[in-house]
Amino acid sequence: MEDAEIALMLCLLLIPIAIWLQVWVKGRRVERQNEMGEEEWQTTGRAFVSIILEGTAVIGGLIIIIVASGGVIKYIMNFYM
């Protein structure tokens, strides 16, 4: 296999990982909601850790999506245009 196909496969494998990260963050947020739909934390420390973890996951997922879609677009441009 050539390098371009390997890069394409890696980019395509990264997309489900990015989607999983976004679903994971959404699930954590839903778990914290009370009956009125507001988010609740037990302690300030847990709130801080959740904000850092979820923020990192969201930003990381978006970066993965950008890189993966860029790799797919690069492959398409190089071989089909």
Q: Tell me what pLDDT residue 35 has.
A: 84
pLDDT of residue 1: 57
Let me know if residue 10 belongs to a domain. yes
- Distance (Å, rounded) from C-alpha 63 to C-alpha 50? 20
Is the pTM here over 0.85, yes or no? no
Domain tally, the chain: 1
Q: Has residue 1 been placed in a domain?
A: no
Q: Is residue 35 part of a domain?
A: no
Domain-located, residue 24: yes
What tens digit of pLDDT does each residue of 30-67 get? 988 888 888 888 889 999 999 999 999 999 999 999 99
**Residue range of the domain that includes 63:** 6-30+40-80
Nearest-5° angle of CA 38, CA 42, CA 46? 100
Q: Which residues pair with 33 in a beta bridge?
A: 39
Question: Region 17-38: what's the mean pLDDT?
Answer: 90
Per-residue tokens: 23 = 């679903």
